[in-house]
Amino acid sequence: MANIDFSKRDSFGSKFGVIAAAAGSAIGLGNIWRFPYVAGENGGAAFLLVYLFFILVIGLPVMLSEFTIGRRARLNPFGAFKKLSPGKPWYLVGFMGVVAAFVILAFYGTVAGWTLEYIANALTNSFEGKSATQLETMFSDFKDSTFRPIMWQLIFMVLTAFIVLAGVKNGIEKYTKILMPILLVLIIVLCIRSVTLPGASKGLEFLFNPDFSKLNANSILEALGQAFFSLSIGMGTLITYGSYIPKSNNLSNTALQVSLADTLIAILAGIAIFPAVFAFDIAPGSGPGLVYITLPNIFQQMPGGSIFAVMFFLLLTVAALTSSISVLEVVVAYFSEELKIKRKSATWLATGLITAIGVLCTMSWGVLKDVSFTFSATETDMATGGEKMYIFDILDFAASNVFLPLGGLFIVLFVGWAMHRKNVHNEISNAGKFRTILLPIFMFIVKIIAPIAIALVFLNGIGLLNF
């Protein structure tokens, strides 16, 4: 391998720092906003089981593959593929990751903006005394408007850019370490309040008592997409973070710990949301607004609810930031290392371009509500005329259910078939320091099981294959 100068590249400071940063990327709106809304639309418990299965069998191996590629190459995803497999078109996978980062951050900024609005709402005590229906109207009126959602999105994007500019160690690591444990405590308190509401048991049943007849090809693809989105895999985020991980870190342990933490938070979010959804008679399939409609109802039922609400939305914003910086970092690392743009200009350029797309996304339900198309995946959809998808839904769907699974497919194929086995072994065992009895199983998964599984779920989900 060629000698490269590592001294100029930033890196994570400690073992805990690595986990905190990667978990910070994984844990975000994907767990607390996206998981409940997608699970709610896809029937609950059966979806949860498929999701967990995908995390274990596909997500974890993809995550370890990304760390392996990143730490081996010590470069952005595009450069990493080019370096590890020179002269072959694998770098296109890195490029696809950059495109996915654009799309994801565009709609992520929209939702993070909603979270900022809800901090403001909590600060001004705007939930108090409102019925479930009024809270629903409050959210949809806000979402359909133009000025405030865009203003919050701009603020969020500027914050993201600032943290990315502060660099890996001083920026990313410092914030995640303290704040994420507090968020965990708040979610647990929310769970307790939610499950003790009258009528809560129906929600637990929805989340934990599977009815497999509710699953269809599309919901299985949704579960795969959610697993990828939530773990931050399939687009090179964790290749980029892997490139900052010190040589002494045990990559398999890190992947396992990050996946466990991420899954735990998603399940806790489900336990916080669904009992309340049923207790307050909200439709589980309410779509992207689900948590913003449900949570204020719970806060209203808590002593000190408004202070709690402020803290919760504030920390949710922090969780969103530790994810959004990891997405922006993919684009910035590409712009600065491959296109040789100075890091600072690269950061603002990337932020500007992404925000421009993001603003269109934010206007999905307002000014641009006529830009939509109708999607019929199931027979019910066809009978009811299909599901209307706005710009926001299209970007969300394309990123999570198309770009990420395809990216993940190529990433495992790369580690399984294109990378030198010795290099893979070296990264996973830290040059022979750890025992790697599971390595043959990992290799078997990345070579065969994961690629076939992803391909089947994907082709079946988009209707090209029919089981």
* Interacting residues with ligand PHE (CB under 6 A): 25-26, 28-31, 104, 229-230, 232, 235, 237, 323, 326-327
Please report how close the Cβ of residue 232 comes to ligand PHE at its closest, in angstroms.
4
Please report how close the Cβ of residue 51 comes to ligand PHE at its closest, in angstroms.
13
The CA distance from 354 to 338, in Å, is 18
Nearer to ligand PHE, 31 or 121 (CB): 31
Please report how close the Cβ of residue 11 comes to ligand PHE at its closest, in angstroms.
19
Do 424 and 251 meet the contact criterion of CB atoms below 8 Å apart?
A: no
Please report how close the Cβ of residue 235 comes to ligand PHE at its closest, in angstroms.
6
Please report how close the Cβ of residue 32 comes to ligand PHE at its closest, in angstroms.
8
Tracing tokens 């269809």 back to the chain, one arrives at: 216
| Residues pairing with 389 in the sheet | 373
Please report how close the Cβ of residue 265 comes to ligand PHE at its closest, in angstroms.
9
The CA distance from 70 to 332, in Å, is 16
Nearer to ligand PHE, 28 or 44 (CB): 28
Nearer to ligand PHE, 104 or 271 (CB): 104
Tracing tokens 């599309």 back to the chain, one arrives at: 218
Please report how close the Cβ of residue 432 comes to ligand PHE at its closest, in angstroms.
32
With CB atoms as reference, the residue minimizing the distance to ligand PHE is 30
Nearer to ligand PHE, 29 or 84 (CB): 29
Nearer to ligand PHE, 200 or 330 (CB): 330
Nearer to ligand PHE, 29 or 73 (CB): 29
The CA distance from 19 to 357, in Å, is 31
Nearer to ligand PHE, 115 or 336 (CB): 115
Please report how close the Cβ of residue 33 comes to ligand PHE at its closest, in angstroms.
8
The CA distance from 414 to 402, in Å, is 18
Nearer to ligand PHE, 55 or 132 (CB): 55
Tell me which residue of 264, 299, 276, 240 sits closest to 25, measured CA to CA.
Answer: 240
| Residues pairing with 375 in the sheet | 387
Nearer to ligand PHE, 28 or 275 (CB): 28
Please report how close the Cβ of residue 22 comes to ligand PHE at its closest, in angstroms.
10
Using CA atoms, how far residue 7 sits from 244, 247, 305, 319, in Å, is 11, 14, 49, 30
The CA distance from 69 to 235, in Å, is 12
Dihedrals φ, ψ of 7, to 5°?
Answer: -60, -30
Please report how close the Cβ of residue 70 comes to ligand PHE at its closest, in angstroms.
13
Using CA atoms, how far residue 53 sits from 56, 65, 199, 262, 340, in Å, is 5, 18, 29, 14, 41
Nearer to ligand PHE, 62 or 217 (CB): 62
Nearer to ligand PHE, 200 or 404 (CB): 404
Tell me which residue of 254, 338, 342, 221 sits closest to 15, measured CA to CA.
Answer: 254
Lookup: tokens for 183: 């968020």
Please report how close the Cβ of residue 129 comes to ligand PHE at its closest, in angstroms.
32
Each residue of 393-416: b (16+ CB within 10 Å) or e? Answer: bbbbbbbbbbbbbbbbbbbbbbbb
Nearer to ligand PHE, 287 or 366 (CB): 287
Please report how close the Cβ of residue 28 comes to ligand PHE at its closest, in angstroms.
3
